[in-house]
Structure 1
Amino acid sequence: MPTLNKTTKPGEQAGPRWHQKEPTFWEGIAIQRRVIWALILRETVTRYGRENLGMLWFFAEPLLFIVGITLLWSYIEPRSVPAGTVAAFAVVSYPTVLLWRNTANRVTKAIEVNQALLHHRPIRAQDFFYSRILLEFASATGSFLVIFILFVAVGISHFPANLFDMVMGWLMVAWFAFGFVLTMGGLSEVSEVVEKVSHIILYLMLPFSGGFFPAYIVPEPMRNYLLLFPLADCVEFFRYGYYGDSFPCYYHLGYTIICNLALTLFGLAMMTYAIRKVEAT
């Protein structure tokens, strides 16, 4: 809490001066948690409105994408899916695309469009990144859980062969998305060119994301080149958690963890650089 101290200098009259007590580490964490939550609520209301149907769209928007892609893929000849149906394959593949693509779209120019809020002392520029990332992760995860549970209930999908590996695979995809989104968000703040070509970059990543076809159908040595992209490894591991040994999956967790860590550090560095550049202008 602020404290009132009276200080005087030689030759001047004593007057009140307010000194703000610096928060402790844990107090600072609590403050930033409340700030990020407030920004999430603000972004949710701004995007979806205050009505119940507007809030329902929070899950319905990505859910409709998943349903549409699943129906489309169901008409594909299922020779590339040796276990289960194409619909079951789609529901454990396409949601991983939403996790990184939608988040990257939302974080672009996040500081610039919210710069007016920085006059509030508790709000930091990086909070704009974190709040939008958490919102998109929650939306993608929630919509995936809804449709996956529904598909299991009606018999289209089955219960995961290894639930722990499936959860860890989803977290690995989210980890990659976090580092990638920070990188794209930071670059978009410092370069207009990156902002303009960001959609092209996202589209070019789709064939290498692992979300549209399994790695085992790619012949050698092209498969090894594909798996150099850590996102494909993450998706393959996630898919292994669902199918287990009934579906051939290829991944290298040690390599993927190192790549995700390097991407996260680079993304944090880009975000910090972008914040400093914005604050200097």
Structure 2
Amino acid sequence: MYKSLMDSLRIQRRVIWALMMREVITRFGRENLGVLWLIAEPMMFTLGVTALWTSAGMNHGSSLPIVAFAITGYSSVLLWRNAVNRCNSGIQSNASLLYHRNVRVIDVFVTRVSLEMAGATASFIILATFFSAIGWIAPPEDPLLVVAGWLMLAWFGAALAMVIGAGTAYSEIVDRLWHPASYLLFPLSGAAFMVDWLPASLQKVVLILPMVHGVELVREGYFGATVRTHHDMAYMATINLVLTLLGLFLVRDAGKRVGSR
């Protein structure tokens, strides 16, 4: 039984690796920066927002450094949003591969989520390290809290990616609805504000969104006692768990639907 399990894991590893290589070559090619675009894209977006905020003198009515505020906010959003966006078209663009015996829908999603999250994480680390080295921002007050918040956001992104990605196997309406929904969620995600800056009535509304709790925890770890944060990790973990279970169920059923076509 142990040997059979190890054989299955080796096959799974080869499948995931092959899908990653195919995804990287298809998206980025073999020339210019190649796979480095996976890191460069989120870095360029975050730097663009940071430059705009800095040039406009937008400090959001607080003493927080704009650069650190933008990096912690927009990097966190890109972590979960990019993963969902890539899985949204995962089944359609890999439909031919799903007829291979060892390739499953879950493999496609794991591949895409892993690549997007690796790129967003590397972008965040590089930007934070660089700006800390040149003295523009201070290092995080509590790196463990930053990591905890980051992992919770990654879990949320992976779970939501499975739900949305598998949902496209049922109807293309899911794909059409997600795009406007992602734009609406972006300004509500906590990237551009702290919950404490909002009126009490609005705080209760935005805290319904689980990703806001994760961003608040990241910023608590980064800025420490200089900010007052509002988060409930038990609530976020519960939502993440529900999304994960729903996502796994939908992924399994989506695989059956694809295989029966």
**Does TM, normalized by the shorter one, top 0.5?**
yes
Residue of structure 2 equivalent to 1:199: 179
Report 1:128-277 matches (<5 A): 128-277=108-257
| Structure 2 letter corresponding to 1:272 | R
Q: Does the 8 Å contact 1:179/1:263 carry over to 2?
A: yes
Q: Does the 8 Å contact 1:108/1:189 carry over to 2?
A: no
| Structure 2 letter corresponding to 1:111 | I
| Separation (CA, whole Å) in 1 of partners of 2:161 and 2:62 | 31
Q: TM-score, normalised by structure 1?
A: 0.88
* Gap regions ≥5 residues in structure 2: none
Q: Which runs of 4+ in 1 moved over 4 A?
A: none
Secondary structure, counterpart of 1:33 in structure 2: helix
Q: Does the 8 Å contact 2:74/2:191 carry over to 1?
A: yes
Secondary structure, counterpart of 2:148 in structure 1: helix
| Structure 1 letter corresponding to 2:131 | F
Q: Deviations over 1:145-181 (max 9, x none)?
A: 1111111111111111101010111001101101111
Q: Does the 8 Å contact 1:93/1:211 carry over to 2?
A: yes
Higher RCO (CA-CA < 8 Å; seq separation 6+): 2
Superposed displacement of residue 183, structure 1? 0.8
Number of residues of Structure 1 aligned to a counterpart in Structure 2: 260
Q: Deviations over 1:113-136 (max 9, x none)?
A: 212123433222221111011010
* Gap regions ≥5 residues in structure 1: 1-21
Superposed displacement of residue 23, structure 1? 6.6
| Separation (CA, whole Å) in 2 of partners of 1:190 and 1:33 | 28
Are 1:115 and 2:95 counterparts?
yes
Residue of structure 1 equivalent to 2:10: 30
| Structure 2 letter corresponding to 1:24 | S
Structure 1 residues 79 and 136, CA, compared in 2 at 3 Å: closer, same or farther? Answer: closer
Are 1:77 and 2:58 counterparts?
yes
Which has more helix, going by share of residues?
A: 2
Q: TM-score, normalised by structure 2?
A: 0.94
| Structure 2 letter corresponding to 1:80 | G
Secondary structure, counterpart of 1:177 in structure 2: helix
Superposed displacement of residue 228, structure 1? 1.7
Structure 1 residues 76 and 176, CA, compared in 2 at 3 Å: closer, same or farther? Answer: farther
Residue of structure 2 equivalent to 1:93: 73
Q: Deviations over 1:63-112 (max 9, x none)?
A: 100100111122243143333x1111001110111112211111113122
**Percent identical residues:** 39
Q: Does the 8 Å contact 1:81/1:89 carry over to 2?
A: no
Q: Does the 8 Å contact 1:183/1:271 carry over to 2?
A: yes
Structure 1 residues 36 and 255, CA, compared in 2 at 3 Å: closer, same or farther? Answer: same
| Separation (CA, whole Å) in 1 of partners of 2:258 and 2:102 | 17
| Structure 2 letter corresponding to 1:78 | N
| Structure 2 letter corresponding to 1:113 | S
Q: Deviations over 1:31-80 (max 9, x none)?
A: 11221111111101111111252222221111100100111122243143
Question: Given the alignment, which residue of 30, 38, 50 partners 1:50?
Answer: 30
Root-mean-square deviation over aligned CA pairs: 1.7
| Structure 1 letter corresponding to 2:21 | L
| Separation (CA, whole Å) in 1 of partners of 2:243 and 2:168 | 16
Residue of structure 2 equivalent to 1:12: none
Secondary structure, counterpart of 1:92 in structure 2: helix
Superposed displacement of residue 195, structure 1? 1.2
| Structure 2 letter corresponding to 1:229 | L
| Structure 2 letter corresponding to 1:151 | F
